[in-house]
Amino acid sequence: MEDCLFCKISQGEIPSTKVYEDDDFFAFKDINPVAPVHVLVVPKKHIANIASLTEEDAAVAGKMLYAIQKVAHLLGLDKDGYRVVFNTGEKAGQTVLHMHAHILGGKEMAWPGV
């Protein structure tokens, strides 16, 4: 999609610190980390957020969880655990309208965090 930051990052048009890539997903370090490990996983297909998923997107959405598992493993987060966050819509603080999972780890995290 034109003028979408995460489409451009996943296509390599805007530089990022890449952590993982396959045919369907791209993962890169968040520019403003809020935890010692903070990586974003995005589908290469432009989908705005969970709220706008269609049935056609169900397969890619399911595969995204598996990609998140692979990225967390690459980051060495398996043993200690990690948090996965999908901010969805304005009140949840979604600032980039291209669906992304935040993988957060490397520290003890408080819960609930709302």
Interaction site with ligand 5GP (CB under 6 A): 5, 16, 28-32, 40, 87, 93-96
Rounded to whole angstroms, the Cα distance separating 52 from 109 reads: 29
Beta bridge partners of 18: 28
* Closest distance to ligand 5GP from the beta carbon of 13 (Å): 11
Of residues 9-68, which lie at the interface with Zn ion (CB under 5 A)?
A: 46
CA 76 distance to own-chain centroid = 17
Contacts of 75 (CB under 8 A, 6+ apart): 19, 37, 39, 82, 103, 105
Is 46 an active-site residue? no
Would you say 79 or 96 has its CB closer to ligand 5GP? 96
Burial annotation 14-23 (CB, 10 A radius, 16+ → b, else e): eebeebbeee
7 binds Zn ion (CB under 5 A): yes
**Residue 95: which of ligand 5GP, Zn ion, none does it interact with, CB under 5 to 8 A by kind?**
ligand 5GP
**Residue 28: which of Zn ion, ligand 5GP, none does it interact with, CB under 5 to 8 A by kind?**
ligand 5GP
* Closest distance to ligand 5GP from the beta carbon of 4 (Å): 11
Catalytic residues: 100
